[in-house]
Amino acid sequence: MRVVFAGTPAAAVPSLRAVLGSRHEVVGVLTRPDARAGRGRGLRPSPVRQVADEAGIPVATPRSLRGPEVAEQLRQWAPEACPVVAYGLLVPPELLALPEHGWVNLHFSLLPAWRGAAPVQHALRAGDDVSGAVTFRLEEGLDTGPVLGRLTETVRPRDTAGELLERLAEAGARLLVSTLDALEEGAVQPVPQPAEGVSLAPKVEVDDARVPWRRPAFAVDRLVRSCTPEPGAWTVLGPDRVKLGPVTPVDDGAPEVPDLEPGEITVGRRDVLVGTGSSPVRLGDVQAPGKRAMPATDWARGARLQPGATFDA
């Protein structure tokens, strides 16, 4: 089939590469405009655009899909299907019907669970044991379209959002290509999503990533892993905002576990523990303002913490 691929971040790259390597012809790519990034805040193309440019595929970077020029570009490309992975723009109704086989979205959850922009982060924060990916036909509702294919993926006990998303992106790329194959062959029957089991996964903002030290250790652990690497979990010590890598709950049945108030820090020879609403957690990497991320014990030595030092709870 002739296809137009729509996607933007690194998680969409395995899918674009998979479609480029399939029997389908990628005649164009839609992606978000170049954005400022890095220390110099220079303009950088999206990861999808970088791959498309390397492959010599025509690229369009509209800020909205509602302009007549976008519809005209799509008519010129004449796609039979539009695979979509984390594109970041809404597709207006007049464009949904343009390709014969529609817009085929790869979503990183087991719909109807976790509809929205951050399904992996919310699945980890909720403590889901199983995640997955789904291909479905886009319609006007938020991730409500009929399902074309799905796969499941076990959530590992220490998964971060970045690690789980990387596995889903690779497995989902194969699912997306097999869905396109099946559509071309007429070998797939769209299945409506059930009305029950719906949950929402809105974008995780920086304010959502503040560590709630008064919550139990398991909740602190889940929040930090769900925000790693983006937007990055953080806490406050005195005047400074400190970023945290994954933490590890300490077994509250283990001997010599100190009794700490929520946010209270204690520095040992080999680890740094912080109190929560239940048992303490062991810090992993810590990044102070203007510094690189480093092991918690190294950070604690440089920070010269006083007895009773406490993160804002």
Residue 31 has pLDDT above 80, yes or no: yes
Residue 65 has pLDDT above 80, yes or no: yes
The neighbour count for residue 246, using CB atoms within 10 Å, is: 19
263 phi/psi in degrees, rounded to 5: 90, -15
Residue 58 has pLDDT above 80, yes or no: yes
Q: 70: part of which helix (H) or strand (E)?
A: helix 68-77
The neighbour count for residue 36, using CB atoms within 10 Å, is: 9
199-235 pLDDT per residue, tens: 999 999 999 999 999 999 999 999 999 999 999 999 9
Residue type, 35: A
> Are 310 and 265 a contacting pair, CB within 8 Å?
yes
Q: 242: part of which helix (H) or strand (E)?
A: strand 240-244
Question: What number is the average pLDDT over the span 261-276?
Answer: 94
106-118 pLDDT per residue, tens: 999 999 999 999 9
Strand, coil or helix: 170: helix
273-282 pLDDT per residue, tens: 999 999 999 9
pLDDT at 258: 85
Q: Which two tokens stand for residue 108?
A: 């990183």
Residue type, 58: P
Residue 252 has pLDDT above 70, yes or no: no
Cα 47 to Cα 7: distance, rounded to the nearest angstrom = 9
Alpha-carbon distances, residue 185 vs 101, 105, 173, 243 (angstroms): 11, 18, 19, 50
150-176 pLDDT per residue, tens: 999 999 999 999 999 999 999 999 999
Cα 180 to Cα 50: distance, rounded to the nearest angstrom = 23
pLDDT at 257: 81
Residue 254 has pLDDT above 80, yes or no: no
Give strand pairing partners of 4. Answer: 28
Alpha-carbon distances, residue 260 vs 109, 152, 252, 300, 309 (angstroms): 37, 39, 12, 17, 11
Q: Give the pLDDT band (50/70/90) at residue 255.
A: low
189-201 pLDDT per residue, tens: 999 999 999 999 9
142-153 pLDDT per residue, tens: 999 999 999 999
Cα 81 to Cα 136: distance, rounded to the nearest angstrom = 12
Q: Give the pLDDT band (50/70/90) at residue 3.
A: very high
The neighbour count for residue 243, using CB atoms within 10 Å, is: 19
Residue 264 has pLDDT above 90, yes or no: yes
Residue 118 CB-half CA count within 13 A? 19
274-313 pLDDT per residue, tens: 999 999 999 999 999 999 999 999 999 999 888 889 999 7
Determine if the pTM surpasses 0.85: yes
